[in-house]
Amino acid sequence: MSKQAPQRRSRAVRRTARLNAPVVMLPTLTRNIPVYEILDTEGVELIHQASLDLLEEFGIDFRDPEALAMWRDAGAEVAGQRVRIPPQLLLQLVAKNPEVVELHGRNPARSVRIGGRNMVFAPNYGSPFVRGFDGERRYSTLEDLQVFHKLAQMAPSLHLAGGITCEPVDIPVPTRHLHIADSLLRHSDKPFMGATTSRERAEDSVRMAQIVFGEIFVENHTVMVSVCNCNSPLVWDQTMLDAVKVYARHNQTVLLSPFVLAGASTPASTVGAVAQLNAEALSGIAFAQLVRPGAPMIYGQFLAPVSMRSGAPMAGTPEISLMNFMIGQLARRYKLPWRSSGMTSGSKMVDAQAAYEASMTMQSVLLSGANFVFHAAGWLEGGLTASVAKFTLDAEQMEMYYRFAQGVSVGDLDEVMATVREVGPGGHFLGTAHTRRVFEQAFFMPELLDNNSFEQWQAEGSKDAATRALEKARAMLDRYTAPALDPAIGEALSDFIARRESELPEGAA
Protein backbone atom coordinates (compact mmCIF):
# COMPACT_ATOMS: atom_id res chain seq x y z
CA MET A 1 0.00 0.00 0.00
CA SER A 2 1.42 3.36 -0.94
CA LYS A 3 2.10 6.06 1.60
CA GLN A 4 -0.55 8.18 0.00
CA ALA A 5 -3.39 5.72 0.42
CA PRO A 6 -4.67 6.96 3.79
CA GLN A 7 -4.92 10.48 2.49
CA ARG A 8 -6.73 9.30 -0.62
CA ARG A 9 -9.11 7.25 1.47
CA SER A 10 -9.76 10.19 3.70
CA ARG A 11 -10.48 12.36 0.68
CA ALA A 12 -12.91 9.75 -0.65
CA VAL A 13 -14.58 9.53 2.75
CA ARG A 14 -14.95 13.29 2.90
CA ARG A 15 -16.39 13.33 -0.60
CA THR A 16 -18.92 10.63 0.27
CA ALA A 17 -19.93 12.51 3.38
CA ARG A 18 -20.48 15.60 1.28
CA LEU A 19 -22.55 13.76 -1.30
CA ASN A 20 -24.69 12.24 1.44
CA ALA A 21 -25.18 15.44 3.36
CA PRO A 22 -28.85 16.25 4.04
CA VAL A 23 -30.50 18.41 1.40
CA VAL A 24 -30.89 21.95 2.68
CA MET A 25 -33.78 23.68 0.96
CA LEU A 26 -33.32 27.36 0.40
CA PRO A 27 -36.48 29.36 1.13
CA THR A 28 -37.77 32.15 -1.11
CA LEU A 29 -34.86 34.45 -1.75
CA THR A 30 -35.53 37.89 -0.30
CA ARG A 31 -33.14 40.12 -2.16
CA ASN A 32 -30.92 42.12 0.16
CA ILE A 33 -29.06 43.99 -2.56
CA PRO A 34 -30.17 46.93 -4.71
CA VAL A 35 -31.61 46.42 -8.19
CA TYR A 36 -29.69 47.79 -11.14
CA GLU A 37 -31.46 50.56 -13.01
CA ILE A 38 -30.18 51.18 -16.50
CA LEU A 39 -32.78 53.79 -17.43
CA ASP A 40 -33.51 57.04 -15.67
CA THR A 41 -37.11 57.81 -14.70
CA GLU A 42 -37.65 59.74 -17.91
CA GLY A 43 -36.58 56.74 -19.98
CA VAL A 44 -38.99 54.46 -18.11
CA GLU A 45 -41.83 56.93 -18.64
CA LEU A 46 -41.07 57.25 -22.35
CA ILE A 47 -41.34 53.49 -22.84
CA HIS A 48 -44.42 53.31 -20.63
CA GLN A 49 -46.10 56.02 -22.68
CA ALA A 50 -45.14 54.39 -26.00
CA SER A 51 -46.73 51.12 -24.82
CA LEU A 52 -49.93 52.85 -23.70
CA ASP A 53 -50.16 54.85 -26.91
CA LEU A 54 -49.77 51.66 -28.92
CA LEU A 55 -52.59 49.92 -27.03
CA GLU A 56 -54.86 52.96 -27.17
CA GLU A 57 -54.32 54.13 -30.74
CA PHE A 58 -53.33 51.00 -32.64
CA GLY A 59 -54.53 48.20 -30.39
CA ILE A 60 -53.75 44.51 -30.10
CA ASP A 61 -55.53 41.39 -31.42
CA PHE A 62 -57.43 39.09 -29.07
CA ARG A 63 -58.34 36.20 -31.36
CA ASP A 64 -61.10 34.79 -29.19
CA PRO A 65 -64.80 35.81 -29.32
CA GLU A 66 -65.29 35.45 -25.58
CA ALA A 67 -62.31 37.68 -24.83
CA LEU A 68 -63.49 40.29 -27.35
CA ALA A 69 -66.91 40.39 -25.68
CA MET A 70 -65.31 40.85 -22.29
CA TRP A 71 -63.19 43.74 -23.58
CA ARG A 72 -66.25 45.36 -25.19
CA ASP A 73 -68.18 45.06 -21.94
CA ALA A 74 -65.28 46.62 -20.05
CA GLY A 75 -65.28 49.70 -22.29
CA ALA A 76 -62.49 49.01 -24.74
CA GLU A 77 -62.92 49.78 -28.43
CA VAL A 78 -63.30 46.48 -30.30
CA ALA A 79 -63.14 46.34 -34.10
CA GLY A 80 -62.92 42.85 -35.56
CA GLN A 81 -60.28 41.13 -33.44
CA ARG A 82 -58.53 44.37 -32.67
CA VAL A 83 -58.89 45.76 -29.16
CA ARG A 84 -57.97 49.36 -28.40
CA ILE A 85 -57.62 49.88 -24.67
CA PRO A 86 -57.97 53.32 -23.07
CA PRO A 87 -54.95 53.96 -20.81
CA GLN A 88 -57.09 54.59 -17.74
CA LEU A 89 -58.92 51.28 -18.18
CA LEU A 90 -55.65 49.45 -18.75
CA LEU A 91 -53.97 50.87 -15.66
CA GLN A 92 -57.05 50.36 -13.48
CA LEU A 93 -57.09 46.69 -14.44
CA VAL A 94 -53.33 46.25 -14.02
CA ALA A 95 -53.58 47.81 -10.55
CA LYS A 96 -55.90 44.97 -9.48
CA ASN A 97 -53.08 42.45 -9.90
CA PRO A 98 -51.46 41.55 -6.57
CA GLU A 99 -47.94 42.85 -6.02
CA VAL A 100 -46.85 39.56 -4.47
CA VAL A 101 -48.14 36.10 -5.35
CA GLU A 102 -48.09 33.46 -2.61
CA LEU A 103 -47.47 30.13 -4.31
CA HIS A 104 -48.18 27.12 -2.13
CA GLY A 105 -46.32 23.83 -2.25
CA ARG A 106 -48.12 20.66 -1.17
CA ASN A 107 -45.51 20.70 1.58
CA PRO A 108 -46.14 24.08 3.26
CA ALA A 109 -42.39 24.35 3.95
CA ARG A 110 -41.89 24.63 0.18
CA SER A 111 -44.32 27.52 -0.37
CA VAL A 112 -42.79 30.62 -1.94
CA ARG A 113 -43.55 34.29 -2.57
CA ILE A 114 -43.23 35.89 -6.02
CA GLY A 115 -42.99 39.68 -6.24
CA GLY A 116 -41.55 42.65 -4.37
CA ARG A 117 -38.03 41.79 -3.17
CA ASN A 118 -38.74 38.06 -3.43
CA MET A 119 -37.13 35.85 -6.04
CA VAL A 120 -37.74 32.19 -6.89
CA PHE A 121 -35.87 29.94 -9.28
CA ALA A 122 -37.60 27.43 -11.58
CA PRO A 123 -36.20 24.74 -13.90
CA ASN A 124 -35.99 24.57 -17.68
CA TYR A 125 -39.28 24.08 -19.57
CA GLY A 126 -40.47 22.61 -22.84
CA SER A 127 -37.51 20.75 -24.40
CA PRO A 128 -38.31 17.89 -26.81
CA PHE A 129 -34.75 16.53 -26.56
CA VAL A 130 -32.63 15.45 -23.64
CA ARG A 131 -28.98 14.88 -22.93
CA GLY A 132 -29.10 12.40 -20.07
CA PHE A 133 -26.56 10.30 -18.25
CA ASP A 134 -24.86 9.01 -21.38
CA GLY A 135 -24.57 12.56 -22.68
CA GLU A 136 -26.22 11.68 -26.01
CA ARG A 137 -28.95 13.87 -27.49
CA ARG A 138 -32.22 12.07 -28.18
CA TYR A 139 -35.98 12.56 -27.86
CA SER A 140 -36.95 12.66 -24.22
CA THR A 141 -39.33 10.33 -22.39
CA LEU A 142 -41.43 10.28 -19.26
CA GLU A 143 -38.56 8.55 -17.50
CA ASP A 144 -36.28 11.48 -18.33
CA LEU A 145 -38.89 13.90 -17.09
CA GLN A 146 -39.13 12.00 -13.81
CA VAL A 147 -35.36 12.31 -13.41
CA PHE A 148 -35.61 16.10 -13.72
CA HIS A 149 -38.53 16.27 -11.29
CA LYS A 150 -36.51 14.28 -8.74
CA LEU A 151 -33.43 16.44 -9.25
CA ALA A 152 -35.52 19.61 -8.89
CA GLN A 153 -36.98 18.26 -5.67
CA MET A 154 -33.44 17.75 -4.31
CA ALA A 155 -31.75 20.91 -5.60
CA PRO A 156 -31.59 23.44 -2.75
CA SER A 157 -31.71 26.44 -5.07
CA LEU A 158 -34.75 25.40 -7.12
CA HIS A 159 -38.03 26.55 -5.65
CA LEU A 160 -40.30 24.75 -8.10
CA ALA A 161 -40.58 21.13 -9.19
CA GLY A 162 -40.90 22.50 -12.71
CA GLY A 163 -43.32 21.47 -15.39
CA ILE A 164 -42.44 20.05 -18.80
CA THR A 165 -38.72 20.15 -18.07
CA CYS A 166 -38.50 17.87 -21.07
CA GLU A 167 -41.37 16.63 -23.25
CA PRO A 168 -42.31 13.00 -22.54
CA VAL A 169 -42.72 12.23 -26.24
CA ASP A 170 -43.37 8.55 -25.48
CA ILE A 171 -46.75 9.57 -24.05
CA PRO A 172 -49.50 10.44 -26.58
CA VAL A 173 -50.21 14.16 -26.75
CA PRO A 174 -53.89 14.03 -25.64
CA THR A 175 -53.00 12.48 -22.27
CA ARG A 176 -49.43 13.69 -21.88
CA HIS A 177 -50.36 16.61 -19.61
CA LEU A 178 -51.89 14.15 -17.11
CA HIS A 179 -48.67 12.20 -16.75
CA ILE A 180 -46.59 15.34 -16.48
CA ALA A 181 -48.71 16.63 -13.59
CA ASP A 182 -48.76 13.17 -12.01
CA SER A 183 -44.96 13.00 -12.07
CA LEU A 184 -44.67 16.49 -10.62
CA LEU A 185 -47.12 15.83 -7.78
CA ARG A 186 -45.64 12.46 -6.85
CA HIS A 187 -41.92 13.20 -7.17
CA SER A 188 -41.86 16.59 -5.55
CA ASP A 189 -43.65 18.56 -2.87
CA LYS A 190 -42.52 21.90 -4.28
CA PRO A 191 -44.95 24.09 -6.26
CA PHE A 192 -45.59 22.84 -9.78
CA MET A 193 -46.61 24.02 -13.25
CA GLY A 194 -49.81 23.37 -15.19
CA ALA A 195 -50.67 22.74 -18.85
CA THR A 196 -51.73 25.55 -21.19
CA THR A 197 -52.04 23.90 -24.60
CA SER A 198 -55.84 23.81 -24.43
CA ARG A 199 -58.73 24.80 -22.20
CA GLU A 200 -59.47 21.24 -21.13
CA ARG A 201 -55.82 20.43 -20.39
CA ALA A 202 -55.69 23.49 -18.15
CA GLU A 203 -58.88 22.27 -16.48
CA ASP A 204 -57.35 18.82 -15.98
CA SER A 205 -54.31 20.45 -14.34
CA VAL A 206 -56.57 22.35 -11.96
CA ARG A 207 -58.53 19.17 -11.15
CA MET A 208 -55.36 17.31 -10.30
CA ALA A 209 -54.33 20.17 -8.03
CA GLN A 210 -57.74 19.97 -6.39
CA ILE A 211 -57.25 16.24 -5.75
CA VAL A 212 -53.96 16.91 -3.99
CA PHE A 213 -54.68 20.23 -2.22
CA GLY A 214 -58.48 20.01 -1.86
CA GLU A 215 -61.01 21.98 -3.89
CA ILE A 216 -61.60 24.72 -1.37
CA PHE A 217 -57.90 25.25 -0.77
CA VAL A 218 -57.25 25.65 -4.49
CA GLU A 219 -60.06 28.22 -4.90
CA ASN A 220 -58.47 30.36 -2.20
CA HIS A 221 -54.79 29.68 -2.69
CA THR A 222 -52.43 29.70 -5.63
CA VAL A 223 -50.78 26.29 -5.94
CA MET A 224 -49.58 26.18 -9.54
CA VAL A 225 -48.05 28.42 -12.16
CA SER A 226 -48.49 28.16 -15.92
CA VAL A 227 -47.02 29.93 -18.90
CA CYS A 228 -49.01 31.65 -21.66
CA ASN A 229 -47.08 33.34 -24.44
CA CYS A 230 -48.38 36.24 -26.46
CA ASN A 231 -47.72 35.62 -30.15
CA SER A 232 -45.63 38.68 -30.82
CA PRO A 233 -46.28 40.99 -32.45
CA LEU A 234 -49.58 41.91 -30.89
CA VAL A 235 -51.59 38.67 -30.96
CA TRP A 236 -53.19 36.82 -28.06
CA ASP A 237 -54.54 33.61 -29.59
CA GLN A 238 -57.50 31.54 -28.45
CA THR A 239 -55.49 28.65 -27.00
CA MET A 240 -53.53 30.91 -24.71
CA LEU A 241 -56.55 32.99 -23.76
CA ASP A 242 -58.53 29.84 -22.92
CA ALA A 243 -55.78 28.76 -20.55
CA VAL A 244 -55.60 32.24 -19.01
CA LYS A 245 -59.35 32.10 -18.42
CA VAL A 246 -59.21 28.70 -16.71
CA TYR A 247 -56.32 29.62 -14.44
CA ALA A 248 -57.49 33.15 -13.63
CA ARG A 249 -60.98 31.89 -12.73
CA HIS A 250 -59.39 29.39 -10.36
CA ASN A 251 -57.08 31.99 -8.82
CA GLN A 252 -53.99 30.28 -10.21
CA THR A 253 -51.02 32.24 -11.51
CA VAL A 254 -49.88 32.52 -15.12
CA LEU A 255 -46.67 33.89 -16.60
CA LEU A 256 -48.03 36.27 -19.25
CA SER A 257 -44.92 36.34 -21.34
CA PRO A 258 -44.50 37.57 -24.86
CA PHE A 259 -42.06 35.16 -26.52
CA VAL A 260 -39.84 37.69 -28.19
CA LEU A 261 -37.56 36.98 -31.13
CA ALA A 262 -36.18 40.48 -31.10
CA GLY A 263 -35.64 41.76 -34.60
CA ALA A 264 -38.15 39.31 -36.11
CA SER A 265 -41.23 39.59 -33.90
CA THR A 266 -40.21 43.02 -32.59
CA PRO A 267 -38.29 45.95 -34.06
CA ALA A 268 -34.51 45.63 -34.20
CA SER A 269 -34.17 47.88 -31.18
CA THR A 270 -33.86 46.96 -27.52
CA VAL A 271 -35.96 49.91 -26.41
CA GLY A 272 -38.57 49.32 -29.10
CA ALA A 273 -38.77 45.62 -28.34
CA VAL A 274 -39.33 46.40 -24.68
CA ALA A 275 -42.05 48.95 -25.45
CA GLN A 276 -43.87 46.43 -27.64
CA LEU A 277 -43.65 43.52 -25.22
CA ASN A 278 -44.64 45.78 -22.36
CA ALA A 279 -47.85 46.58 -24.27
CA GLU A 280 -48.39 42.88 -24.94
CA ALA A 281 -47.79 41.75 -21.38
CA LEU A 282 -49.86 44.56 -19.84
CA SER A 283 -52.81 43.75 -22.09
CA GLY A 284 -52.59 40.12 -20.95
CA ILE A 285 -52.47 41.10 -17.28
CA ALA A 286 -55.43 43.44 -17.80
CA PHE A 287 -57.41 40.69 -19.55
CA ALA A 288 -56.87 38.31 -16.65
CA GLN A 289 -58.30 40.97 -14.34
CA LEU A 290 -61.44 41.05 -16.49
CA VAL A 291 -61.72 37.30 -15.90
CA ARG A 292 -61.30 37.60 -12.16
CA PRO A 293 -60.37 40.87 -10.46
CA GLY A 294 -57.30 40.27 -8.32
CA ALA A 295 -56.16 37.22 -10.31
CA PRO A 296 -52.49 36.69 -9.42
CA MET A 297 -50.75 37.10 -12.77
CA ILE A 298 -47.03 37.45 -13.46
CA TYR A 299 -45.68 39.94 -16.01
CA GLY A 300 -42.63 39.20 -18.12
CA GLN A 301 -41.12 37.92 -21.30
CA PHE A 302 -38.90 35.42 -23.01
CA LEU A 303 -36.16 37.26 -24.90
CA ALA A 304 -33.97 36.11 -27.76
CA PRO A 305 -32.56 38.48 -30.37
CA VAL A 306 -32.35 36.99 -33.86
CA SER A 307 -29.00 36.60 -35.60
CA MET A 308 -28.76 38.44 -38.91
CA ARG A 309 -26.34 35.77 -40.09
CA SER A 310 -28.36 32.60 -39.47
CA GLY A 311 -31.81 33.86 -38.54
CA ALA A 312 -31.48 31.79 -35.36
CA PRO A 313 -32.39 33.06 -31.91
CA MET A 314 -29.30 34.03 -29.92
CA ALA A 315 -28.62 33.59 -26.22
CA GLY A 316 -26.27 35.34 -23.82
CA THR A 317 -25.86 38.51 -25.84
CA PRO A 318 -25.58 42.00 -24.33
CA GLU A 319 -28.96 43.13 -25.64
CA ILE A 320 -30.72 40.45 -23.60
CA SER A 321 -29.18 41.93 -20.46
CA LEU A 322 -30.09 45.46 -21.49
CA MET A 323 -33.70 44.43 -22.09
CA ASN A 324 -33.93 42.54 -18.79
CA PHE A 325 -32.86 45.61 -16.88
CA MET A 326 -35.45 47.78 -18.64
CA ILE A 327 -38.25 45.26 -18.15
CA GLY A 328 -37.49 45.06 -14.44
CA GLN A 329 -37.84 48.81 -14.15
CA LEU A 330 -41.21 48.72 -15.94
CA ALA A 331 -42.48 45.86 -13.75
CA ARG A 332 -41.62 47.83 -10.64
CA ARG A 333 -43.36 50.88 -12.10
CA TYR A 334 -46.58 48.83 -12.27
CA LYS A 335 -45.87 47.01 -8.98
CA LEU A 336 -46.21 43.70 -10.82
CA PRO A 337 -44.44 40.46 -9.99
CA TRP A 338 -42.38 39.56 -13.07
CA ARG A 339 -40.53 36.71 -14.66
CA SER A 340 -37.45 36.43 -16.78
CA SER A 341 -35.36 33.53 -18.09
CA GLY A 342 -32.06 32.67 -16.43
CA MET A 343 -29.64 30.06 -17.67
CA THR A 344 -30.44 30.10 -21.38
CA SER A 345 -27.97 29.07 -24.07
CA GLY A 346 -27.82 28.27 -27.77
CA SER A 347 -25.02 25.76 -27.31
CA LYS A 348 -25.62 22.20 -28.40
CA MET A 349 -23.53 20.76 -25.56
CA VAL A 350 -22.35 21.58 -22.04
CA ASP A 351 -19.25 23.46 -23.09
CA ALA A 352 -17.81 26.91 -22.42
CA GLN A 353 -20.40 28.49 -24.74
CA ALA A 354 -23.26 27.07 -22.68
CA ALA A 355 -21.84 28.61 -19.52
CA TYR A 356 -20.77 31.96 -21.01
CA GLU A 357 -24.25 32.50 -22.41
CA ALA A 358 -26.17 31.31 -19.38
CA SER A 359 -24.05 33.37 -16.99
CA MET A 360 -24.13 36.54 -19.07
CA THR A 361 -27.91 36.51 -18.97
CA MET A 362 -28.42 35.15 -15.46
CA GLN A 363 -26.40 37.83 -13.73
CA SER A 364 -28.45 40.56 -15.39
CA VAL A 365 -31.63 38.72 -14.45
CA LEU A 366 -30.49 38.64 -10.84
CA LEU A 367 -29.58 42.32 -10.70
CA SER A 368 -32.73 43.29 -12.61
CA GLY A 369 -34.68 41.88 -9.66
CA ALA A 370 -36.74 39.30 -11.59
CA ASN A 371 -39.18 37.66 -9.17
CA PHE A 372 -39.60 34.41 -11.07
CA VAL A 373 -36.45 33.16 -12.77
CA PHE A 374 -37.65 30.64 -15.32
CA HIS A 375 -35.26 28.25 -17.12
CA ALA A 376 -32.82 28.56 -14.23
CA ALA A 377 -31.40 25.06 -14.77
CA GLY A 378 -30.85 22.67 -17.65
CA TRP A 379 -31.46 24.74 -20.80
CA LEU A 380 -29.41 24.00 -23.93
CA GLU A 381 -29.79 24.53 -27.68
CA GLY A 382 -32.20 27.44 -27.46
CA GLY A 383 -34.49 25.34 -25.29
CA LEU A 384 -34.64 22.33 -27.60
CA THR A 385 -32.54 20.19 -25.26
CA ALA A 386 -32.74 19.67 -21.50
CA SER A 387 -29.40 18.54 -20.11
CA VAL A 388 -28.96 16.65 -16.86
CA ALA A 389 -25.36 17.84 -16.61
CA LYS A 390 -26.25 21.47 -17.17
CA PHE A 391 -29.24 21.17 -14.83
CA THR A 392 -26.90 20.11 -12.04
CA LEU A 393 -24.26 22.73 -12.80
CA ASP A 394 -26.84 25.48 -13.16
CA ALA A 395 -28.50 24.52 -9.89
CA GLU A 396 -25.20 25.06 -8.09
CA GLN A 397 -24.69 28.36 -9.88
CA MET A 398 -28.14 29.39 -8.66
CA GLU A 399 -27.01 28.67 -5.09
CA MET A 400 -24.18 31.10 -5.74
CA TYR A 401 -26.52 33.77 -7.10
CA TYR A 402 -28.72 33.19 -4.07
CA ARG A 403 -25.75 33.81 -1.82
CA PHE A 404 -24.79 36.90 -3.79
CA ALA A 405 -28.27 38.37 -3.47
CA GLN A 406 -28.01 38.12 0.30
CA GLY A 407 -25.47 40.93 0.06
CA VAL A 408 -22.97 42.08 2.65
CA SER A 409 -23.14 43.14 6.25
CA VAL A 410 -20.84 45.66 7.87
CA GLY A 411 -22.13 44.71 11.30
CA ASP A 412 -19.06 42.90 12.63
CA LEU A 413 -16.44 45.17 11.08
CA ASP A 414 -14.95 46.18 14.45
CA GLU A 415 -14.39 42.57 15.47
CA VAL A 416 -12.95 41.72 12.08
CA MET A 417 -10.50 44.63 12.13
CA ALA A 418 -9.37 43.56 15.60
CA THR A 419 -8.48 40.23 14.00
CA VAL A 420 -6.37 42.04 11.39
CA ARG A 421 -4.36 43.67 14.19
CA GLU A 422 -4.08 40.35 16.02
CA VAL A 423 -2.60 38.66 12.93
CA GLY A 424 -0.39 41.56 11.85
CA PRO A 425 2.03 41.97 8.93
CA GLY A 426 2.96 38.74 7.14
CA GLY A 427 0.71 36.59 9.32
CA HIS A 428 -2.16 34.41 8.28
CA PHE A 429 -5.78 34.24 9.28
CA LEU A 430 -6.68 30.57 9.03
CA GLY A 431 -6.08 29.89 12.70
CA THR A 432 -7.80 32.90 14.22
CA ALA A 433 -10.84 32.55 16.41
CA HIS A 434 -12.86 34.68 14.00
CA THR A 435 -11.95 32.50 11.02
CA ARG A 436 -12.66 29.27 12.87
CA ARG A 437 -16.04 30.60 13.86
CA VAL A 438 -17.23 31.92 10.49
CA PHE A 439 -15.29 30.11 7.80
CA GLU A 440 -17.88 27.55 6.72
CA GLN A 441 -20.36 30.37 6.16
CA ALA A 442 -18.05 33.21 5.14
CA PHE A 443 -17.34 32.07 1.59
CA PHE A 444 -19.44 29.92 -0.70
CA MET A 445 -17.56 26.72 -1.57
CA PRO A 446 -18.84 25.19 -4.81
CA GLU A 447 -18.77 21.44 -5.13
CA LEU A 448 -18.78 21.19 -8.93
CA LEU A 449 -16.17 23.86 -9.61
CA ASP A 450 -12.83 22.11 -9.21
CA ASN A 451 -10.22 24.23 -7.46
CA ASN A 452 -7.82 21.41 -6.68
CA SER A 453 -4.29 21.34 -8.07
CA PHE A 454 -3.78 20.20 -11.65
CA GLU A 455 -2.11 17.04 -10.36
CA GLN A 456 -5.04 16.22 -8.08
CA TRP A 457 -7.52 16.89 -10.86
CA GLN A 458 -5.50 14.67 -13.20
CA ALA A 459 -5.33 11.90 -10.57
CA GLU A 460 -9.12 12.05 -10.33
CA GLY A 461 -9.47 11.44 -14.07
CA SER A 462 -9.11 14.89 -15.71
CA LYS A 463 -12.88 15.23 -15.74
CA ASP A 464 -14.58 18.26 -17.20
CA ALA A 465 -17.39 20.03 -15.36
CA ALA A 466 -20.12 18.24 -17.32
CA THR A 467 -18.74 14.82 -16.37
CA ARG A 468 -18.52 15.74 -12.70
CA ALA A 469 -22.06 17.13 -12.86
CA LEU A 470 -23.42 13.82 -14.17
CA GLU A 471 -21.69 12.00 -11.32
CA LYS A 472 -23.30 14.34 -8.84
CA ALA A 473 -26.72 13.93 -10.48
CA ARG A 474 -26.35 10.15 -10.29
CA ALA A 475 -25.43 10.37 -6.61
CA MET A 476 -28.43 12.63 -5.98
CA LEU A 477 -30.80 10.17 -7.66
CA ASP A 478 -29.30 7.29 -5.68
CA ARG A 479 -30.35 8.88 -2.44
CA TYR A 480 -33.59 10.39 -3.67
CA THR A 481 -36.65 9.55 -1.62
CA ALA A 482 -40.11 10.56 -2.72
CA PRO A 483 -41.82 13.10 -0.47
CA ALA A 484 -44.69 11.71 1.57
CA LEU A 485 -48.06 11.55 -0.23
CA ASP A 486 -51.29 10.31 1.35
CA PRO A 487 -51.93 6.93 -0.39
CA ALA A 488 -55.58 7.88 -0.84
CA ILE A 489 -54.51 10.96 -2.77
CA GLY A 490 -52.12 8.93 -4.88
CA GLU A 491 -54.95 6.55 -5.69
CA ALA A 492 -57.33 9.38 -6.52
CA LEU A 493 -54.75 10.82 -8.94
CA SER A 494 -54.42 7.42 -10.63
CA ASP A 495 -58.19 7.05 -10.86
CA PHE A 496 -58.52 10.50 -12.39
CA ILE A 497 -55.85 9.78 -14.98
CA ALA A 498 -57.43 6.42 -15.85
CA ARG A 499 -60.82 8.04 -16.30
CA ARG A 500 -59.47 10.85 -18.45
CA GLU A 501 -57.45 8.40 -20.54
CA SER A 502 -60.65 6.52 -21.30
CA GLU A 503 -62.41 9.78 -22.25
CA LEU A 504 -59.68 11.40 -24.33
CA PRO A 505 -58.85 10.30 -27.88
CA GLU A 506 -55.64 8.30 -27.99
CA GLY A 507 -52.78 9.52 -30.09
CA ALA A 508 -54.45 12.53 -31.70
CA ALA A 509 -52.90 15.95 -31.24
Residue 188: CB partners within 8 Å, gap ≥ 6? 149, 150, 152, 153, 161, 483
Pairing of strands 372-374, 338-341: parallel
Q: Residue from 154, 314, 336, 370 that binds a copy of itself (CB under 8 A)?
A: 314
Q: At closest approach, how far in Å is the CB of 35 from a copy of itself?
A: 9
As measured in angstroms, the least distance from the Cβ of 189 to a copy of itself is 28
Which of 19, 26, 50, 89 touches a copy of itself by CB under 8 A? 50
Q: Give the x/- contact pattern for a copy of itself in 279-308, rule: CB under 8 A.
A: --------------------------xxxx
- Looking at residues 60 to 89 of the shown chain, list those that interact with a copy of itself (rule: CB under 8 A): 60-61, 81-82
Q: Based on CB atoms, which residue is closest to a copy of itself, 251 or 467?
A: 467
Among 96, 117, 137, 333, binds a copy of itself (CB under 8 A): 137
| Closest C-alpha among 360, 361, 362, 338 to residue 119 | 338
Task: Specify whether the CB–CB gap between 186 and 493 falls below 8 A.
Answer: yes
Instruction: For residue 251, count other CB atoms closer than 10 A to its CB.
Output: 17
445: contact with a copy of itself by CB under 8 A: yes
Q: Minimum CB separation from a copy of itself for residue 315, in Å?
A: 7
Residue with smaller CB distance to a copy of itself, 182 or 357: 357
**Which of 70-78, 154-162, 460-468, 474-482 is the region at the interface with a copy of itself (rule: CB under 8 A)?**
460-468
The DSSP result for 432-489, as a single string, is SHHHHHHHHHHS---SSS--S-HHHHHHTT---HHHHHHHHHHHHHHT--PPP--HHH
351 binds a copy of itself (CB under 8 A): yes
Q: Residue 444, interface with a copy of itself (CB under 8 A)?
A: yes
Count residues binding a copy of itself (CB under 8 A): 127
Contact between 55 and a copy of itself (CB under 8 A)? no
To which H or E segment does residue 63 belong?
Answer: strand 60-63
Calculate helix-pair angle for 487-503, 199-213, nearest 10 degrees.
Answer: 160
Write phi, then psi, for 284 (nearest 5 degrees): -70, -45
Among 21, 352, 459, 498, interactor with a copy of itself by CB under 8 A: 352
Query: CA dihedral in degrees (320, 469, 457, 18; nearest 10)?
Result: 120
For a copy of itself, which stretch binds (CB under 8 A), given 118-126, 164-172, 247-255, 415-423? 415-423
Among 92, 173, 435, 489, binds a copy of itself (CB under 8 A): 435
| Side-chain half-sphere exposure of 244, counting CA atoms within 13 A | 31
Q: Which is nearer to a copy of itself, 43 or 86 (CB)?
A: 43
**Least distance in Å: CB of 61 to a copy of itself?**
4
Q: Count CA within 13 A, CB hemisphere, residue 427.
A: 11
Smallest gap from Cβ 249 to a copy of itself, in A, equals: 26
* 3-state secondary structure at position 232: coil
Give strand pairing partners of 40.
none
Asked if 466 is part of the footprint of a copy of itself (rule: CB under 8 A), the reply reads yes
Nearest CA to 22 out of 482, 479, 392, 484 is that of: 479
Q: Which stretch binds a copy of itself (CB under 8 A): 118-126, 284-292, 341-349, 488-496?
A: 341-349
The one among 13, 457, 486, 491 contacting a copy of itself by CB under 8 A: 457
Distance in Å, CB of 118 to a copy of itself, minimum: 19
Decide if residue 465 touches a copy of itself (CB under 8 A): yes
Please give the backbone phi and psi of residue 25, each rounded to the nearest 5 degrees, phi first.
-80, 130
- Cβ distance to a copy of itself smaller for residue 339 or 390: 390
SS3 readout for 393-447: HHHHHHHHHHHHHCCCCCCCHHHHHHHHHHHCCCCCCCCCHHHHHHHHHHCCCCC
| Cα–Cα–Cα angle for 385, 285, 66, rounded to 5 degrees | 100
Kindly identify the residues of this chain, within the stretch 244-283, that bind a copy of itself according to CB under 8 A: 262-272, 275-276
Q: Which residues 11-40 are close enough to bind a copy of itself by CB under 8 A?
A: 14, 33-34, 36-39
Say whether 37 sits in a helix, a strand or coil: coil
Of residues 319-338, which lie at the interface with a copy of itself (CB under 8 A)?
Answer: 319, 321-322, 326
Scan residues 360-389 and list those touching a copy of itself (CB under 8 A): 360, 363-364, 367, 381-382, 384-385
Q: Cβ of residue 374: shortest distance to a copy of itself, in angstroms?
A: 19
Nearer to a copy of itself, 200 or 351 (CB): 351
- Gap between the Cα atoms of 370 and 337, Å rounded: 8
DSSP code for 366? H
Burial of 127-164, coded b for 16+ CB within 10 Å and e otherwise, reads bebbbbeeeebeebbbebbbbbbbbbbbbebbbbbbbb
Identified binder of a copy of itself from the candidate list 19, 117, 419, 501, rule CB under 8 A: 419
